[in-house]
A and B are shown apart, each in its own frame.
Chain A
Amino acid sequence: MNKAKHPLIRLHGVTKRYGATVALDNVDFSCFPAEIHAILGENGAGKSTLMKLLSGVIQPSEGDVFVDEEIIRLKSPGHAIDRGLICMFQELSLVPDLSVRENLLLGAKDARYGFAKKHHLADARVLLDKIDASHVQLSTRVSDLTLAERQQVEIAKALSRQPRLLILDEATSALNSTVVEKVFDLIREQRDRGTGVLFISHRFHEIEAIADKISVFRNGQHIETFANGQYNYGAIINKMVGQSLTELFPTPAPRTISSTVLTLDSLSWNGEIKDVSIDVKAGQILGLGGLDGQGQNHVLQALFGLLKHTTGDAAVNGTQGMPRSPKAAKGKKYGLAWVPEDRKKEGLILEQSIQDNLQLAALGHASAPAQAVFEKLISSLELKYQSLEQPVAALSGGNQQKVSLIKWLVISPTCLLLSDPTRGIDVKTKTQIYQLLVELSKQGIAIILLSSDYEELVHLCHQVHIFYDGEIVDTLSDESLNAQNIIAASLNMHKKSSEAHA
């Protein structure tokens, strides 16, 4: 880091308000060329607002943005791109109906509305190959790609635009560690060429691995900037949360002998679920693990009545057979509830009020829950809101997830199905959700927790099934339930020894 150089971008007294909410509060912040600068903070700390500001998506309410020490008003993303400020957004900026090729060219500085030049694509192809995406063809439609492949394309798109400042907002959340390492190599290469990099991630070990500098944000304020390695994990977490955080994971409820709530006997569907058998008891937290898209989510969808023509036997809550719709699944006969992974499109109705969302699942349900039930859950999860009439879209991601959980808990399900409930959520909300799950299991609710975070599986679950290619390839519990075994089984490389435990 060359201290003599002037900062690439500098924020001076920047404030951003949304109505009464202050998203950024009088922030001074600089990023220098040739440094990888990580931004840490809980959800709602202002990280995303900062990124949107620098990429021209929004404009500050007060204060100035300097690029190369010159005041600039970034009117639009196009304007920012022209200045070399390239952002890779958390909400992917790829157009689903266009091909990979067209997406790579979309909005490029010198081919925005005119015709593209050959080198644009050649550059992107090289970049794609470098990050293990050589199998991605340029003519494929983006909607046919997996989430991980889309992120790879997104990275290639950003890097091919010769950024001066590269902003990565949760850019690697769906990528596995080998690919992440390759992406990091490219980012380091960029840095060595003089590019400034702003890096947001919830994966702390990634930040540890790549950042030169770390800035912590909290409640819209810039708390502190320090060199990577200056503080330990605990100290940094404390800065983010503003108070000392006790254990991340609560002690799991002891496993007691109880009755079976849900059984699946050799469930198969469409070649994507193969012969899966599951048995969940009251008060048990059963984990479903494995790489993305190995059939574990389909099992939850099947249980919730979304898949047609499944084979195999099922019994839920004493009822034989699979429910045939979510309406049947949530009914008293089955007593199921499913919190889908995509809270914005599937879990919630963003335009509607918190109140309306909370009531939607219980609406028309045989026993309408009392207002007190809502209030108790709201306070136990510490849902932060100004008014129950405000639209859910105005809440932070973590609080949105709380709403989609409460919505289901009010109908008191006997078995709760969760698809990656903590993905992209801040540490504090995570611990609250963990606490809640343990609490629920103590109350005797059966929980099936699908998670891509092996720490969750290790610390919360009584038993974990690992999926690979639609099958359960390993079942872990007690001593065998550890990170190494989960990772090995996820890659279908588990040894006989771990099978012996199951």
Chain B
Amino acid sequence: MNLRIKASYIEIAFPFVASVLMILGASTVFPEFLSATYLLQQLQIAAFLGVIALGATVVILLGHIDLSVPWALGGAAIISTTLVGTDHAVLTVLAVPAALLFGAFVGIINGIGVAWFRIPSMVWTLAVNSMLLGVAVLNTGGFNPKGAASNLMITLATGQIARVPVAFIVWIALAIAMMLFLKRGGFGRYLSSIGYNEKATYLAGVSTSGVIFIAFMIAGTCSALGGVLLAGYANQAYQSMGDPYLMPTIAAVVIGGTSILGGKGSLVGTIGGVTFITLLSSILSVMQISEAWRNIIFGCIIIVMLLLQTFKHRRS
């Protein structure tokens, strides 16, 4: 019993330790990596990927995947900035809730395909993503939509409280809220059971389709929140702003120790994974490495990290 708990603690600590080692290593070349300004800025940047990855973790725990992240994110950004852009007081206030509702709605569409029609989530969410893209193109004419971020959005994305980025606080608050939700009523246990064996979970008297629906709604809402934050950060929405976030999200969740097959994993691990991925890309771009080499190094490090994980696993 003790052994298992120890092993899982090590697993969760792994991406955090790796992040610290990486930043220490990089600081030997560029000492400013250890400055508070730089690190706090990284926490802000990490928060964008972080909120999305929290949602993705819930879906991946189920053994599913959500490839509609890019346009759930993009759509939410477009909706919120467009509403703010109307300069109407009420619509400005409604911008964030509307964007989050949109995210939940995308989750419902994903849930219909996956839970009711039992289409593999990898295909269905891909199709949902391309439909969302279609809707966005039709509405915006393929141009970046006019509009702006509200003060609330800007504060959420770029504000600071005692030098701590608000975005980081939002991220951690969301993580804590989700952890509490997963503990309550055994929702987290249902996720994991379905991830391992959906049929047996259903036969144990669990409404598995209900759980799948809620999980995808959480994921959609998280992606939308990511979109709201990014729109606040850039003070606008732009076409395909979500595309660069899909693959890093999956990589962060997996490096955080969540099995892509479902069942095993944790939100804390995902926070570590997000930190690692964010620092890695930041260090690579600060060092002015070309895009080609950034891609190569990024891929190699992910593989090495996962090899280390499985290697540890096999030894224990």
Whether the Cβ atoms of B193 and A349 lie closer than 8 Å is: yes
Residue interface bits A345-364, CB-to-B below 8 A is 1, else 0: 11111111000100111011
Whether the Cβ atoms of B202 and A351 lie closer than 8 Å is: no
Distance (whole angstroms) from the CB of B279 to the closest CB of chain A: 32
Interface status of B185 (Cβ within 8 A of chain A): yes
Interface status of B200 (Cβ within 8 A of chain A): yes
Q: Which of B32-40, B164-172, B204-212 contacts A (4 or more CB under 8 A)?
A: B204-212
Per a CB cutoff under 8 Å, which of A325, A346, A360 touches B207?
A325
Q: Which residues of A contact B205 (CB under 8 A)?
A: 325-327, 329-331, 361, 365
Interface status of B238 (Cβ within 8 A of chain A): no
Whether the Cβ atoms of B204 and A326 lie closer than 8 Å is: yes
Interface status of A157 (Cβ within 8 A of chain B): no
Q: Which residues of B contact A325 (CB under 8 A)?
A: 205, 207
A260 to B263, CA, bound (A): 41
A365 to B201, CA, bound (A): 14
Interface status of B197 (Cβ within 8 A of chain A): yes
| B177-234 interface with A by 8 A CB criterion | 185-186, 189-190, 192-193, 196-197, 199-207
Q: Which residues of B contact A329 (CB under 8 A)?
A: 205
Residue interface bits A310-341, CB-to-B below 8 A is 1, else 0: 00000000000000011101110000001010
Q: Which residues of A contact B206 (CB under 8 A)?
A: 326-327, 360, 363-364
Q: Which residues of A contact B207 (CB under 8 A)?
A: 325, 327
Whether the Cβ atoms of A340 and B1 lie closer than 8 Å is: no
With A363-B186, A389-B1 given, is the CB distance from A352 to B203 under 8 Å? no
Whether the Cβ atoms of B1 and A338 lie closer than 8 Å is: no
A389 to B186, CA, bound (A): 17
Q: Which residues of B contact A360 (CB under 8 A)?
A: 189, 193, 201, 204, 206
Whether the Cβ atoms of A361 and B204 lie closer than 8 Å is: yes
A359 to B4, CA, bound (A): 19
Distance (whole angstroms) from the CB of B14 to the closest CB of chain A: 21
Q: Number of contacts between A and B (CB, 8 Å)?
A: 64
Interface status of A497 (Cβ within 8 A of chain B): no
With A356-B189, A360-B189, A387-B1 given, is the CB distance from A349 to B201 under 8 Å? yes
Distance (whole angstroms) from the CB of B263 to the closest CB of chain A: 6
Whether the Cβ atoms of A346 and B203 lie closer than 8 Å is: yes
Interface centre among A325, A326, A349, A364 (most CB of B within 10 A): A349
Q: Which residues of B contact A364 (CB under 8 A)?
A: 185-186, 206
Instruction: Considering the complex, give the chain B residue whose CB is closest to the CB of A365.
Output: B205
Distance (whole angstroms) from the CB of B170 to the closest CB of chain A: 30
Interface centre among A327, A351, A359 (most CB of B within 10 A): A351
Instruction: Considering the complex, give the chain A residue whose CB is closest to the CB of B259.
Output: A351
Q: Which residues of A contact B203 (CB under 8 A)?
A: 304, 326, 338, 340, 346-347
Q: Which residues of B contact A347 (CB under 8 A)?
A: 200, 203
Q: Which residues of B contact A348 (CB under 8 A)?
A: 197, 200
Distance (whole angstroms) from the CB of A344 to the closest CB of chain B: 9
Interface status of A407 (Cβ within 8 A of chain B): yes
A46 to B192, CA, bound (A): 32
- A selection of 18 A-B contacts at a CB cut-off of 8 Å is A304-B203, A327-B205, A327-B207, A345-B199, A346-B200, A346-B203, A347-B200, A347-B203, A348-B200, A349-B200, A351-B197, A352-B193, A359-B189, A360-B201, A360-B204, A363-B206, A364-B206, A387-B1
B contact residues vs A (CB 8 Å cutoff): 1, 4, 185-186, 189-190, 192-193, 196-197, 199-207, 263-264
- Given contact pairs A326-B203, A326-B205, A327-B205, enumerate 12 new A-B contacts (beta carbons under 8 Å): A304-B203, A327-B207, A347-B200, A348-B200, A349-B201, A351-B196, A356-B189, A361-B204, A363-B189, A363-B206, A364-B185, A388-B1
